Amino acid sequence: MVKKRILLVGFLITLLIFVTIYFTNIILNKQREDAIDERMTSLIENYEEMQTLSMMSNLFGEEGTCLIMQAQLLNMNKEIWETGRKIDQYRTITEEFMDDPFYLEQKRRFNLNEALYFSLLEQMKKSCEVNQTTLLFFYQKKENCPDCDAQSFVLTDIRHEFDEELAIFSFDADLDLAPVAILAQYYNLTEYPCTIVEDTAHCGLYDKDDMMDILCNTSYFSECSDNP
Amino acid sequence: MNPAYLGLVYFVWFLSTYFIVVLILSLIEYKEELFISPALDKNDILPNVSIIISAFNEEESISASLDSLLQLDYPKEKVEIIVVNDGSTDNTREAVQPYTENSHIHFIDNTSNKGKAACLNQGIAAATGEYVACMDADSVVDPQILKKTVPYFKNKKTGAVTVTVLVKNPKNFLEKVIELEYILGLSLFLKIYSLFNTIQVTPGPFSIYRKSVVDEIGGFDVTNITEDLEIAYRIHKAKYIIAFCMTTFVKTIIPNNFTGLYRQRRRWYTGAIQTAVQHRNMFFTSEYGIFGYFVPFNFAIIILGLVLFILSQYLLVTNIIKNISLFALTNYNFLAFLSLREFDPLALSIFGFFGISSICMTLLTLIIGMRFARQSLRTRIPGSVGFVFMFFLYQLFWFVSLYTALTKRKIRW
| Mean pLDDT value of segment B241-266 | 95
Q: How confident is the model at residue A226 (pLDDT cuts 50, 70, 90)?
A: low
Give phi and psi for B106, each to the nearest 5. Answer: -110, 145
- Local confidence band at A95 (pLDDT 50, 70, 90 cut-offs): low
Provide the edge-to-edge strand list for the sheet that holds B206-210. B105-110, B79-86, B49-55, B131-136, B206-210, B158-167, B241-252, B139-141
* Residues from chain A contacting residue B290 (CB–CB below 8 Å): 3
Q: What is the pLDDT of residues B13-34, one digit of tens each?
A: 999 999 999 999 999 999 888 9
B326 chain-A contacts, CB cut-off 8 A: 149-150, 153
Q: Do A157 and B14 touch (CB under 8 A)?
A: no
Is the pLDDT reported for residue A223 higher than 80? no
pLDDT of res. B398: 94
- Residue A2: pLDDT above 70? no
Counting every residue written for chain A, the total comes to: 228
Digit-coded pLDDT (tens) for A60-79:
777 777 877 777 777 787 78
Taking an 8 Å cut-off on Cβ atoms, the answer to whether B333 and A208 are in contact is: yes
Nearest CA in chain A to B338: A157
pLDDT of B340 strictly over 90: no
pLDDT at B116: 94
ipTM over 0.90: no
Facing residue for B346 by CB, picked from A13, A22, A32: A32
Closest-CA residue in chain B for A26?
B350
The residues pairing with B84 across neighbouring beta strands, listed in sequence order, are: B54, B108
According to DSSP, the residues that pair with B95 across neighbouring strands are: none
Long-range contacts for A217-224 (Cβ within 8 Å, ≥24 apart)? Answer: A218/A133, A219/A133, A219/A165, A220/A131, A221/A133, A221/A162, A221/A165, A221/A166, A222/A165, A223/A161, A223/A162, A223/A165
More confident residue, B212 or A45: B212
Across the range A151-176, mean pLDDT stands at: 89
Residues of B whose CB is below 8 A from A90: 346-347
Is-contact B55 B86, C-beta < 8 A? Answer: yes
- pLDDT single digits (tens) B149-170: 999 999 999 999 999 999 999 9
Q: Which pLDDT belongs to residue A184?
A: 92
> Residue A134: which of A115, A121, A149, A116 has the closest Cα?
A121
Q: What is the pLDDT of residue A119?
A: 87
Sequence-distant (≥ 6) Cβ neighbours of residue A177 within 8 angstroms: A108, A111, A112, A115, A171
Indicate the residue of A21, A97, A150 with minimum beta-carbon distance to B353: A21
Measured CA distances, B169 to B176, B178, B248, B252 (Å)? 9, 12, 17, 9
Query: Domain-by-domain residue ranges, chain B?
Result: 1-34+147-413
What integer is the mean pLDDT of B119-135? 97
pLDDT of residue B326: 92
At residue B208, does pLDDT exceed 90? yes
pLDDT in tens, B225-240: 999 999 999 999 999 9
* Beta carbons of B354 and A14 less than 8 angstroms apart: no
Mean pLDDT throughout A16-35? 94
Q: Which residues contact A224 (CB under 8 A, 6 or more apart)?
A: A212, A215, A216
Task: Locate the chain A residue with the closest alpha carbon to B10.
Answer: A18
Distance CA B132, CA B312 (A): 47
B352-to-A21, B192, B349 alpha-carbon distances in Å: 10, 31, 5
Residues of A with CB under 8 A from a CB of B: 2-3, 6-7, 9-11, 13-14, 17-18, 21-22, 24-25, 28, 31-32, 35, 85, 89-90, 93-97, 149-150, 153-154, 156-157, 160-161, 205, 207-209
A200-203 sheet: strands from edge to edge? A166-172, A133-139, A194-197, A200-203
Provide CB contacts within 8 A for B285, sequence distance 6+.
Answer: B292
Q: How many residues does chain B have?
A: 413
pLDDT tops 70 at residue B275: yes
A188, A196 in Cβ contact below 8 A? no
Residues of chain B whose beta carbon is less than 8 angstroms from a beta carbon of chain A are 1, 6, 10, 13-14, 17-18, 21-22, 25-26, 29, 195-196, 290, 325-326, 328-331, 333, 336-337, 339-340, 344, 346-350, 353-354, 357
Cβ <8 Å between A97 and B196: no
C-alpha distances (whole Å) from B49 to each of A94, B204, B209 are 64, 17, 10
Closest CA to B251 of B201, B182, B199, B202: B182
B347 contact residues in A (CB cutoff 8 A):
89-90, 93
CA distance A29 to A38: 14
The whole-angstrom separation of Cα B178 and Cα B294 is 24
Q: B283 near B200, Cβ under 8 Å?
A: no
By percentage, how much of chain B surpasses pLDDT 90? 78
User: SS3 of B342, please?
Assistant: coil
Average pLDDT over residues B400-410: 87
Confidence of residue B280 (pLDDT cuts 50, 70, 90): very high
Residues of B in contact with A156 (CB under 8 A): 340
Interface probe for A, chosen from B1, B2, B20, B27 (most Cβ of A below 10 Å), is: B1
Q: Characterize the bridge pairing of strands A194-197 and A133-139.
A: antiparallel
Contact status, residue B7 vs residue B172, Cβ threshold 8 Å: no
Would you call B21 and A18 a contact, using CB atoms and an 8 Å cutoff?
A: no
Phi-psi sector, B219: left (phi>0), alpha (psi -120 to 50), beta: left
Tell me the three state secondary structure of residue B12: helix
pLDDT-derived band at A228, boundaries 50, 70, 90: low
Q: A160, B340: Cβ pair inside 8 Å?
A: yes
The CA distance from B297 to the nearest CA of chain A, in Å, is 13
Least confident of A83-87, B21-25, B155-159, B323-327: A83-87
Q: Which three-class secondary structure state does DSSP give residue A25?
A: helix
Asked if pLDDT for residue A59 goes beyond 60, the answer is: yes
Residue of higher predicted confidence among A129 and B201: B201
Q: Give the distance, in angstroms, between the CA of residue B382 and the centroid of all CA atoms in the same chain.
A: 21
Residue B341: per-residue pLDDT: 75
A160 alpha carbon, distance to own chain's centre: 14
For chain B, the average pLDDT equals 92
What average pLDDT does range B280-308 have in this prediction?
Answer: 93
Q: pLDDT tens digits for B26-75?
A: 999 998 889 988 988 888 889 999 999 999 999 999 999 999 999 999 99
Pick the residue from chain B with its C-alpha nearest to A15: B14
Instruction: Tell me how close the Cα of B170 comes to any Cα of chain A, in angstroms.
Output: 35
Mapping DSSP to helix (H, G, I), strand (E, B) and coil, where does residue A124 land?
A: helix
> With 90 as the cut, is the pLDDT of residue A227 above it?
no
Q: Say if residue B413's pLDDT is above 70.
A: no
Specify the pairing of strand A200-203 against strand B131-136: unpaired
Output the pLDDT for position A1: 62
Contact A6 B337 (CB under 8 A): no
Closest-CA residue in chain A for B340? A160
Q: How far apart are the C-alpha atoms of A63 and B155, rounded to whole Å? A: 101
Distance from CA of A51 to the nearest CA of B (A): 31
Mean pLDDT of B193-201: 94
- Kind of pairing, strands B49-55 and B79-86? parallel
Per-residue pLDDT band for B412 (boundaries 50, 70, 90) equals low
**% pLDDT > 70, chain B:** 99
Report whether pLDDT(B95) > 80: yes
Task: Compute the average pLDDT of residues A30-42.
Answer: 92
Residue of chain B whose Cα is closest to the Cα of A148: B326
Chain A and chain B share a number of CB contacts under 8 A equal to 84
The whole-angstrom separation of Cα A16 and Cα B357 is 13
Using the predicted structure, report yes or no on whether residue A191 has a pLDDT greater than 80: yes
Is the torsion defined by CA of B276, B282, B286, B289 positive or negative? negative
